[in-house]
Structure 1
Amino acid sequence: MTRSIVVGLDGTEQAGAAAVWAADEAELRGAAVRLVHVLVASPDALVPFVSREPVESWGEELLTRTATALRERRPGLPVTTALLPGDAVPGLVTAADDADLLVLGSRALGAVAGYFLGSVGMTVAGLVERPVVLVREGDPPGPLDGPVSVGVDLREPADGLLGFAFDEAARRRGPLHVTYARRSAPPELQRTLDDLLLPWRAKYPEVPVTARVVPASAGPELVRAAADASLAVIGRRIRRSPLSTHIGSVAHAVLHHSRAPVVLVPHE
């Protein structure tokens, strides 16, 4: 199966930054990029006999323009596009089924959001059983350099999370910073964290690793740990109930305050 990265576009600057990030990441992975735009119905589109052609034309032009820019940035990069009918949430979840990653735009608290940046984006991030990357508009360290920061919870499964983080650090040929933050974390947990990392250090001897146990609130500490990172990686528990798409307070804190792209890696 061809490796691919799916990007959701909604016309915002953040979604444009997400597409650029995805192109660079695809180059690292030897993957293709698939750009998707979901035709979310506007009030006018709900009125009988009103043509959807202007909305479709705008979506097609957005996809074509973005695909052209990515091919110019990364010559030879395979880029495909898809205009999807229906609701944004199921459309994006389905589009990501066979992808390595789903990449969406993100925003700081208080910013004006497109439909992938607010409740829709958070809902999708809580449903997709693939890693979801949220990218802010701006100029963070590029994906080809800079350390990778990962936050672990020693009470939760960590193999998928650490595997993703070590892979990304190895691709970037940079260091990996591992943090376990919890207000009541005793110092002796440092040994537990070090033991957890032993097989990963052996598998990735080329990746310099620092590991810290910090007695502090996880959200703010993980934001601080990712201050100079090219990528912030955190875990998210899979919740298959359609009524439960909550991604957790720690994930929310990192998503809203980290300047680096943030990856939510799902786990059981």
Structure 2
Amino acid sequence: MSRPVIVGLDGSPSSLAAAEWAACEAHLRRLPLKLLHALEDWTPSYGHATSIGATPSPQYWGERIPREVSQRLAERHPGLEITTEQVDGRPLPVLDAAAQEAEVLVLGSRGLGAVTGFLVGSVSQAVLAHAERPVVIVRPGTSQDSNDVSAPNGSQPPAGTYRPVVLGLDLSRPCDELLEYAFDAAAARRAPLRVVHGWNMPPAFTFDPALIAPEVRDGLAAGTATALGDALRPWRGKYPAVHVEEECSVGHAADHLVEASADASLMVVGRRIRRSAIGTHLGPVAHAVLHHSAAPVAVVPHP
């Protein structure tokens, strides 16, 4: 049985944006969609305002929101299998449990605009830090793409419908889970995959880059580009239809990725799985991209 795309739903604008994104994703990947609603303490912890216009009573949160959102998505995505589930419990444990059974878990982020970026709530951050399945954060006002077209159920979107999928790749950990997710996302969208790797000069030259000879600098750049190509070669073979653009840039990876997000349909970054019960569990690159990306962000855990 296929894992579903699961979206945390609370009626807030951010969760409604996440539900629409999740429906598009389920449609693209030919997977069922589950709308998940946690009944106890959901409102103060995860969402603060409903955009549907009803009094936020327990009965409203538990019945009306999932029903109305499900009906809306069914109209926009005919043929998509949609189910709803209500779970008694606090958002964090409910979402943590849902992440284990999801192909991808989709959560909303309160948007702050193109300059300020995302505001990732404490529940979303906690889920991101502990989930061992991919989690996508969606900001209100963003969609799969500005040219989003719902293809007939079971068919692929027209080529060129989606902007590139951007993958931030650390060559010290080019893990299969991260690469497979990014290539799958690009293949489903029939979109290019832009792979961005940020690198820095050796520490001896960071104080004064002018000290490094041009031929040495060029050799380091060529070696980094070769390493990136070697890491991607097996995946190009597995996904021959995906057009891959390789980009090696000197500087902080997060800066390059945030810049690339302006023309992306999806940002993909990795998160190393840590078993420690304390700590944020999010690296600096993932943290920066989550808060400043102009596109939805997929965080893929890996060993």
TM-score, normalised with respect to structure 1? 0.89
- The one-letter amino acid paired with 1:146 is R
- The one-letter amino acid paired with 2:77 is R
Deviation string for 1:157-201 (max 9, x for gaps)?
A: 421111111111111111110011133374121110011111111
The correspondence of residues 161-172 of structure 1 with structure 2, limited to 5 A, is 161-172=178-189
Output the CA distance in 2 between the equivalents of 1:256 and 1:183. Answer: 23
Output the CA distance in 2 between the equivalents of 1:135 and 1:217. Answer: 24
- The one-letter amino acid paired with 1:165 is A
The question of 1:252 aligning with 2:287 is answered yes
Q: What are the ranges of 5 or more consecutive residues in structure 1 without an aligned counterpart?
A: 45-52
The question of 1:65 aligning with 2:68 is answered yes
CA contact (8 A) 2:174 2:231 kept: no
- The one-letter amino acid paired with 2:29 is R
Distance change >3 Å, CA 228–CA 111, structure 1 → 2? closer
Return the match for 2:84 from 81, 86, 94: 81
The question of 1:213 aligning with 2:216 is answered no
Distance change >3 Å, CA 247–CA 40, structure 1 → 2? farther
TM-score, normalised with respect to structure 2? 0.79
Partner secondary structure for residue 24 of structure 2:
helix
Question: 1:118 maps to which residue?
Answer: 121
Q: What are the ranges of 5 or more consecutive residues in structure 2 without an aligned counterpart?
A: 45-55, 149-160, 203-219
Output the CA distance in 1 between the equivalents of 2:3 and 2:43. Answer: 37
Output the CA distance in 1 between the equivalents of 2:275 and 2:243. Answer: 36
The correspondence of residues 134-173 of structure 1 with structure 2, limited to 5 A, is 134-140=137-143, 141=145, 145-173=162-190
Distance change >3 Å, CA 42–CA 205, structure 1 → 2? closer
Question: 1:174 maps to which residue?
Answer: 191
Output the CA distance in 2 between the equivalents of 1:111 and 1:248. Answer: 18
Q: Flag the structure with larger Rg.
A: 2
Question: 1:48 maps to which residue?
Answer: none
Root-mean-square deviation (Å):
2.3
- The one-letter amino acid paired with 2:287 is H
Question: 2:217 maps to which residue?
Answer: none
Output the CA distance in 2 between the equivalents of 1:164 and 1:30. Answer: 15
How far is 1:43 from its partner?
11
Question: 1:39 maps to which residue?
Answer: 39
Return the match for 2:97 from 94, 98, 105: 94
Question: 1:49 maps to which residue?
Answer: none
Partner secondary structure for residue 72 of structure 1:
helix
Question: 2:132 maps to which residue?
Answer: 129
CA contact (8 A) 1:108 1:256 kept: no
CA contact (8 A) 1:101 1:130 kept: yes
4+ residue segments displaced more than 3 Å: 107-113, 183-186
CA contact (8 A) 2:142 2:295 kept: no
Output the CA distance in 2 between the equivalents of 1:258 and 1:250. Answer: 11
Distance change >3 Å, CA 58–CA 172, structure 1 → 2? same
